[in-house]
Structures are given as C-alpha cells and as structure tokens.
Structure 1
Amino acid sequence: MTHLLALAVLIGIFAVGTARSVNLGLLSFVGSFAVGTWVFEAEVEQLLAGFPANLFVILVGVTYLFAIAKRNGTIDWLIEGAVRSVGGSVAALPWVVFALSAVLVGLGALSPAAVAVIAPVALAFAVRYGINPLLMGLMVIHGSAAGNFSPLGVLGVITNGLVESAGIPGNPKVVFVSNLVFNIVLAAVVYAAFGGVELLRSRGRSGPVSTITDEDVLGSGGSGGAVQPSSGRHAGGAVVAPAVEVGARARRDRIVTLSGMVILAVGSLAFDLDIGLSAMTVASILALMSPDVAKSALGDVSWGIVLLISGIVTYVGLLESQGTIDYLGREIADVPLPVLAALVLLFVAAFVSAFASTTGILGALIPLSVPLLAAGDLGPVALVAALSISASVVDTSPFSTNGALVVANTPEAESARVYRGLMTWGFGLVLVAPVVTWAIFVVPGW
C-alpha cells in the first residue's frame, strides 16, 4: 500500500505542477519530505540520499562554463569553424552533431559527458542559423544514445557484464547494432519533423562574414565585458556567419576558453575526470581572468532547471531506496504470460529511466528478466536488446541528465518551448518505444 501511495504522489506532483505552472522540483522536494516522513518513516538523511549531487554540479558547472564562452565570444569561433567544416551547409549541422555524439560515446565516453560537451555548441548553432533548437538538442541526445551499447562504450560494457553475471546468453554486437539502427531511424524522424526538410529546401550556406568589432567584444567602456555579437542571418538563401575580428584581450580570453573546453573534453572522455568539477575548475580560471564577464554569465545558469531536475531525481531516488522499484519488479514477475510480462518490464524500464539512471534501471531489470527467460518462450538476446533500447532512448526526457543538459543550455527565450518539446517527445517514447521494441524483438521469439 505504501508503494502505491508513493507512486500516486509522483503522479500528483506532475498533475499539480503542470496545471499550476509550479516548478516540479520544488513540489518533488516537498513530496520527498511528506512521503519519506509519514509514509516510509525515513530519517532526513534517507530523504536526501537520492539528491543528485553529481548531476547538480554537472548542470551548474557546464552551463556556467558555456555561459562564459558565449559572453566572451568563443562560441562564435566554434560556430564559424563548424559551418566551414561542412562546406557551409546548415542542413548538415544536425547530422554532424549526431555523428559526433555517437562516435564519442561509442569510443567510451559517458553519454552525459558527451552531451555536456556538444550540446552547448550545437544549440549555439541553432541560435545563429535559425535552426529549431529542439531539432539540434534531440540530434545530440539520440546521437549519444546511438553509441550507448558499443562493446567499447561504458553502458555497453556494463550491460554485457550484467547479462553475463545473470547467466543470460548474450550477443553484444546484436544489441549494439539494434540500438544504433533504432536511433538513426529516430533521428531521421526528428530531422523530418522538426525543421530538417525546410533546411534542405533552403540550401542555406555560409556567405560573407559579418563583423564583430573590438567595441562589440569589449563593451562601450573597453572593459572586456559581455559580447554582443552580430547575428548570423539568411540573406538570399545564404547564411551569414560571424567574423572574429577581436582585440588582444578578447582574443586571449577566447584562446584560454577554447583550451579549457578542449581540456574538459579530453579529461572527461579520455581520463574519466568528473565533468562537473572539471567544468567548475575551468570556469573559475576564466572568472579570475575576466571577473566582469563571469559575473554577468552567472545569471545565465538555468537555476529553475537545476531545481526541477534535482527535486524529481531526489524523489525517485527515495522510491528506489524504499523498495518501490523492487515492488514493481515483483509485480511484473507475477504476470502469467511471459510475453506480456516482458512488455510490462519494457514499460517500467522506459518510465523509470526517463527520470533516473539508465544504468541503474538496467541493473535492476536485467536480473528480473531471468525468471521470464527461464520459461523458454522468450529470446534472451532479443529481450536484452529491447530492454536496452527502451531504457536509453527516453533520455530525451527533460528529467534525464541528457535532456536536462539540453534544456539548461537552451537560450532563455526558447527554453520553455524546448522543455515542452522534450517532455512530449520523451514521454511519447516512453509509450511508443516499449511497444515497438516488443513487437520487433520479443514477439517473434528470436
């Protein structure tokens, strides 16, 4: 009864928060306090044990660093270079960020680390060239998801290890290729649905560059303050890219910023350094160099998103620690028909992963699938592939780390629209992905 009540409160949080436009994170903290104290009779330490400290530092550190990079003009440098790298084809940019995310994750980067590095630049492309930011954000996330189950990838290694330890027959290549193809198809749908076709029709290419003067970069007082770059624009079907004519101080700040971003990427991807703390370190160095820019950039951090994500994840963490997720697993195991039990398992994987750790939910559900596989009616490799896909594609939810990073790095004027778009797409996948993967992989009995 306590588990059902806790789940009902979670549903109520979403209903009330959406109806009254109240931050869901704030309501979730209240829910954690109320449910933890009066339903589970937990201590305060247990109530806050699920607080995502690492995710909090990632969101604040990365968004603050890239806010500084936007303010001092470094993002303009990256935009110009990226557009030139694809021959000026704006229509190719979403696929460039998709491929880059997939390669990084497939080679061993953590998915949130890759998204944290690529999403801010990708969304800056969107602003500069009039691309739908939802399109760019989804392409980054699905790109990272496409590389998730590479035999070299972190999630692939973990999943394959779980399969082996549970005594389930496995085939890492099948799981990887299945997930890769699934995400490429989703990316094609995203591209067609959110503005990619219009980009192809416009055939936008980078044209002559506009000018960013020293006064633009340094501010009217020449103090090295916030950058006000001229915007890229469509002119006769061409895209006008920003120029990078800057003074010595601004050039120094950009070089240091870009170097810091490279060090951040290499440190997190190659040496497994914490992405959030590394970003904080780089941001601190830049703040010491240009205090005025850093001070103005602090207001660009999406504090509302930080509160929202922290609250939701804290509440779900409370449910996990109190056995509510295990309760769901036991209920699934009692479903009489294995093929229907598998569908329920896929829905649980998708729903929980939309809020919590994909790795965590796979770690809980792969062992729970052993009783279903023991009946001999289900193919083990097919079920693992379906579970892996259902649990990972929903990372587009704004309550997952990847979705939160996209929302946090979206310009304030577009953040509400992108948040709603990710909510719709992410929870659409919560409903659709389990059914599709079940029909493709489980029902045929492979």
Structure 2
Amino acid sequence: MSSHWLSIYALVGMFVLATVLPINMGVIAFVGAFLVGTLVAGMNAKAIMGGFPADLFLTLVGITYLFALAQNNGTIDWLVRLAVRAVRGRIAAIPWIMFFIAALLTSVGAVSPAAVAIIAPIALGFAAKYGISPLLMGLMVVHGAQGGGFSPISIYGGITNKIVAKAGLPLNEMATMMASLGVNLAVATLLFFMFGGTKLLRQKADAHGTVPAVGRVAHGQGGAQVYGDAEGESFGEERRTRTPDSDSLMDAASSTPAEAGSRVYQMATVLGLVALAVLTLFFKQDIGFVSITIGLVLTLMAPNLQKRALGQVSWPEIMLIVGVSTYVGVMEKMGTIDFVGHSVAGLTSPLMAALLLCFVGAVVSAFASSTAVLGSLIPLAVPFLQGDAAVGAIGFIAAMAVSSTIVDVSPFSTNGALVLANAKGVDRDVFFRQLMMYGAIVTILAPVVVWLLFVVL
C-alpha cells in the first residue's frame, strides 16, 4: 500500500472516529499528522509544524473573541430587541426577522451553532405563542445562520478564503458569500410558503401581543441530545447565555437583558463591527489583527465586564480547524493532494469529479464538522481546478461551500439538534423524523442543484 493511500485512509478514519465518539477531530488530526508525517513520510517535527496555519489561527481567535465581547455586553440582545420591535405585530415577519438576525450573527464572526443556540429558543418560543410551524421557524433560523456564514469576516468565510488563497486558486470572496446567502434565502422562501406563510400574512398581533384567531400552544418538554458534530463543542458558553423566551411579541421589544452594558458601550461595539468590515473589505487589512485590536479597545472600555470573553473563544473549534489544516499540510508535502487530483481526473471528467466532491462534502457534513470538510476537500480539488479542461474554481468553491454547510439542518448536526431541543408543543419523535427527512432531502438534492448552478452553468 502506498504512502498516499495510507494518509487518505487515516483521514477517513479521523472523520469516522470524530463522528462516532465525542472527540475533537483536531486532536485526532494533530496525532495523525505526527504519526503519518514521521512513520510514513519520514518528516521531522519542524517540517510537520510547517503546515500549521498561523494566520488562520489568529483569524479564528480574533473574530470569536470579538463576538464573545458583543454577546457579554448585551449588544446581541439589544439588536434582537430592535429587530423584534420593527415587526410591529406582523406575525409573518417573525420568521424572517429570525432568519436575518441569525445571518447577521454568523456574518460578523459567530460560529453557526452559537448563533442558532442564541436565536433558536427565542424563535421557537414565538412559534409556540403565535401558531407558527416550529419546523418552519427552526429551519429559518438554521438557514439564516448558514446564509450569513461566508461573509469575508465570518468563520466559514475566513477559513475558505485562506484555504483558497493558500492553494493559489482564483479568489472571489463576495461570490462565495452571495452564493450561500442566495441559496439559503431561496430555500427559506420556499419553506415559508410550504409551511403556512400565506396564512401568517393574514395575521397580526394586537397591542397586547395576542392573536385572536390563534390559541396558545402548550410548551413541550425540553432536552434532546446534541449529537456528535465536533462543531458543537465550540459554543458551550453561548448556550448558557441564551435569551429567555418572551411571553409577548410586544414585551420582547421592551424586555431588559439580564446582563447588558451601557447603550454607549453597545453602540461602540456596533461601530467596532462596522470598522472591522470596512478595514478588512476595503483596506485589505488582516482580519485577525484588526478584530483583536477592536476587541482590545472594547475590553479597555469595560475590563471587568469582559473577564469571561477569552474563555468564550471557540477553542475546540479552533483546535479542530488548525489540526485538520496541519494534517492536510502533511498530505500536501507528501504529494497526496496531487495524487488524488490526478487519480480523480483519470477516472472521470472534471465536472463529474466536482459533483462527487460536493456529494462527499454534503454527506460528511450532515454528521460531522463542516469546517473540517472545507479544510480537507478544497485542497483535494486543486489539480482538476487547473489546466485547460479545468472546472471554474470560483464556481466550484461556491458549490462546495454551500453543499458542505446547508446540510446542517440534519438532527445529527449540532444546529438541527438545537432546533429539536428547543421546539415547544411538538411530538419530539415526529419532529425528529421531520428534521431527519428534510436533512436527507437536502443532502441528496443540494449538491446537484449547486453543482448545476455554479459549476455547469
């Protein structure tokens, strides 16, 4: 057996082990990089560490730290209340408000499970109160979180853009972002009308936040297991800082969060997020250094309020990403990436190879970590994204990004499990089957659709 196949089998084994057992895949990947690098490739420790993505590490630390500050000082709760106030009793607007808030959170640096953990309890509480389909509301939150996930200053966007740049491929940050937002927005629109959106358009809450034609729905029991998605480790603190459910649509607009900084401090946080976007998008400054700098300024304004922030940095998520990236670096130095690319190109056309990789990304991400999939599959695609018969790199990256994240609606993924755990007034077994069926449909159809849209057309 060649060294290339040994390294590939080791990578597959990492995915399986991290899916079956609650072990961070980054830990496994670091050990794999050490064992494969030394025993199979004959590399020393310095050569193995050469694949450690220091710039990506700084980016992840910076943006998750900045998001933790925004959560702790009440800025996120404040923005949610402002958005709910804008509804003014329009029931049909509630799912869309939740969609766009979740998208906003991930677009400015929240990991997707953290955004869902914050918004899902609020959204599903509204669903139970106003007779909105809990399946619709839960899916709107998840698709919103995924829709905003590829902005240039987000976790997914930062990872993908750095991997693409490192591979020497053409980079169009806005194309990937708009592809993810567009597909998820289109799916959300379809779901809205499939699950009662037309009926909601005819309803409006009165001044007391009640809808005469809709009775109250009893709250169900909580407590579904969050399954073995390694990404789920990254939002432990955020799960403990969820905003409580509101009894009334109008009350939600005026409720006071349990822990919030002054309005001036919250405005400063919003300005900091805007500055991050401007400096990184228009002035091409490093997102890691800029986000940490803004975070330090906010911390100096209220150091005691921010004591928890460093502990809320998504260290398990960061461990996962840099571990997988280090292992992929070992595979690159071994020549395995080129070997796989040429092997796939020899078996089938570049178009079919792109479709196969989109399917692999979707299936693996439905059960394991989307970030790990992006970090390992994009480098594998490099050989057939180059040359005269190559697939368009920008379109393929957009297709891979969407197909590897849109499947996180699965109840076996952290986002889907959070929706299941927070649903109220439902039969959990039935709701689980609904999520599982929807996740299966998305896993099968999404790769084909995005492949046709972004690669073939």
Q: Same fold (TM over 0.5)?
A: yes
Residue 43 of structure 1 corresponds to: 44
Q: 1:127 to 1:205 in 2, by over 3 A?
A: farther
Q: Per chain length, whose mean CA-contact separation is higher, i.e. which structure has more relative contact order (CA < 8 Å, sep 6+)?
A: 2
**1:56 shift after superposition:** 2.4
TM-score (normalised: structure 2) = 0.62
- For residue 347 of structure 1, the aligned residue among 356, 367, 374 is 356
Inter-partner Cα distance in structure 1 for 2:253 and 2:12: 46
**1:47 shift after superposition:** 1.6
SS in structure 2 at match of 1:234:
coil
Residue 141 of structure 1 corresponds to: 146
Residue 116 of structure 1 corresponds to: 109
Letter in 2 for 1:116: G
Letter in 2 for 1:264: L
1:57 aligns with 2:61: no
Q: Deviations over 1:126-166 (max 9, x none)?
A: 4444476774343243356699xxxxxx98xx99xx999xx
2:4 and 2:339 in contact (8 A); partners too: yes
SS in structure 1 at match of 2:247:
strand
Residue 220 of structure 1 corresponds to: none
Gapped regions of structure 1 (runs ≥ 5): 102-111, 148-153, 165-173, 210-226, 374-379, 415-421
Residue 264 of structure 1 corresponds to: 276
Q: 1:99 to 1:75 in 2, by over 3 A?
A: closer
SS in structure 2 at match of 1:57:
helix
Inter-partner Cα distance in structure 2 for 1:176 and 1:303: 25
How big is the alpha-carbon RMSD for the aligned residues of Structure 1 and Structure 2? Answer: 5.2
1:117 and 1:265 in contact (8 A); partners too: no
Instruction: State how 1:182-201 maps to structure 2 within 5 Å.
Output: 182-188=183-189, 200=200
Instruction: State how 1:196-345 maps to structure 2 within 5 Å.
Output: 200=200, 231-235=244-248, 240-243=252-255, 250-335=262-347, 338=349, 342-345=351-354
Q: 1:394 to 1:52 in 2, by over 3 A?
A: farther
Letter in 1 for 2:109: A
2:99 and 2:140 in contact (8 A); partners too: no
Q: 1:38 to 1:67 in 2, by over 3 A?
A: same
SS in structure 2 at match of 1:240:
helix
**1:393 shift after superposition:** 1.0
SS in structure 1 at match of 2:23:
coil
Inter-partner Cα distance in structure 1 for 2:330 and 2:95: 44
Q: Deviations over 1:260-292 (max 9, x none)?
A: 222223222332222222221122122223222
Gapped regions of structure 2 (runs ≥ 5): 126-136, 153-159, 210-239, 362-370, 423-434
- For residue 405 of structure 2, the aligned residue among 392, 396, 409 is 396
1:232 and 1:242 in contact (8 A); partners too: no
**1:27 shift after superposition:** 0.8
Instruction: State how 1:360-399 maps to structure 2 within 5 Å.
Output: 364-367=383-386, 370-371=388-389, 387-396=396-405
Q: 1:298 to 1:397 in 2, by over 3 A?
A: farther
Inter-partner Cα distance in structure 2 for 1:321 and 1:81: 51
**1:34 shift after superposition:** 0.4
Inter-partner Cα distance in structure 2 for 1:62 and 1:87: 33
Inter-partner Cα distance in structure 2 for 1:72 and 1:331: 52
2:62 and 2:289 in contact (8 A); partners too: yes
SS in structure 1 at match of 2:85:
helix
What is the percent sequence identity of the aligned residues? 30
Inter-partner Cα distance in structure 1 for 2:10 and 2:436: 19
Letter in 2 for 1:23: N
Instruction: State how 1:7-46 maps to structure 2 within 5 Å.
Output: 7-46=8-47
Inter-partner Cα distance in structure 1 for 2:257 and 2:328: 49
Inter-partner Cα distance in structure 2 for 1:228 and 1:134: 21
**1:312 shift after superposition:** 2.0
SS in structure 2 at match of 1:22:
coil
Q: 1:67 to 1:310 in 2, by over 3 A?
A: same
TM-score (normalised: structure 1) = 0.63
SS in structure 2 at match of 1:308:
helix
Residue 106 of structure 1 corresponds to: none
